[in-house]
């Protein structure tokens, strides 16, 4: 199976002390290491929303990293949603 066939979109909402601690930068670095495209954005309610597209295995690795306890700040809970990739993304943005 080629990477294109197994591409997915993973959206994760991360709750905890994750704003103002380098969390989005850290997430971007992990995503780029895994070859993913997407973004990490601060939400008004204090969560960070992570959108990542690429091979399912790489998205699962990013999700595991978000839950690893090795992130900046403090992650209390991560809720994820899986869907089909939208495409058209380049790089990994911090918003």
Catalytic residue, from 15, 30, 42, 44: name it. Answer: 42
Assess whether 24 carries a catalytic annotation: yes
Q: Which helix (H) or strand (E) holds 52?
A: strand 48-55
Q: In sequence order, what are the residues at sequence separation of 6 or more whose Cβ sits closer than 8 angstroms to the Cβ of residue 92?
A: 28, 31, 32, 36, 37, 38, 39, 40, 52
Catalytic residue, from 24, 28, 30, 47: name it. Answer: 24
Assess whether 42 carries a catalytic annotation: yes
Task: Answer whether 44's CB lies under 8 Å from 36's CB.
Answer: no
In the 8-state DSSP scheme, what is residue 6? Answer: T
Tracing tokens 């978000």 back to the chain, one arrives at 66
Residues acting as catalytic residues: 24, 42
């Amino acid at each position: 199976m080629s990477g294109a066939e197994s591409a997915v979109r993973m959206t994760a909402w991360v709750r905890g002390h994750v704003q103002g601690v380098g969390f989005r930068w850290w997430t971007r670095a992990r995503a780029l290491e895994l070859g993913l495209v997407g973004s990490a954005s601060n939400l008004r309610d204090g969560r960070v929303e992570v959108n990542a597209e690429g091979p399912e295995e790489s998205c699962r690795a990013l999700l595991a990293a978000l839950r690893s306890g090795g992130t900046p700040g403090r992650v209390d809970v991560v809720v994820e949603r899986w869907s089909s990739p939208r495409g058209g993304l380049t790089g990994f943005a911090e918003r």
